[in-house]
Amino acid sequence: MKIAVAGLGYVGLSNAVLLAQNNEVTAVDVSQERVDMVNAGKCPIVDAELEEFLAERKLTL
């Protein structure tokens, strides 16, 4: 399934990472810095579990 998520803040990023475990997710944000961080496998918010998922897991995000 292809899913789009608007916003990479606390709610949007959490949902995008959760959904990307089993789906193809496209996420957009007005902040290019946040998009670049997520694309680089770094978490733009303070959350240890999200940091782990972005850095170590294979996500379709």
The DSSP-derived string for the chain is: -EEEEE--SHHHHHHHHHHHTTSEEEEE-S-HHHHHHHHTT--SSS-HHHHHHHHHS----
22 in a domain, yes or no? Answer: yes
- Residue by residue, pLDDT tens for the chain (61 residues) are 999 999 999 999 999 999 999 999 999 999 999 999 999 999 999 999 999 989 988 888 7
pLDDT, position 61: 79
- Give the list of residues 6+ apart from residue 42 with CB closer than 8 angstroms, or none: 51, 54, 55
Q: How confident is the model at residue 57, as a pLDDT? A: 85
Prediction pTM value: 0.87
pLDDT for position 10: 95
With respect to residue 61, please indicate whether it lies within any of the assigned structural domains.
no
Is 11 inside any structural domain?
yes
- Domain count across the chain: 1
List the domain range (segments joined by +) for residue 37.
Answer: 2-56
pLDDT of res. 59: 80
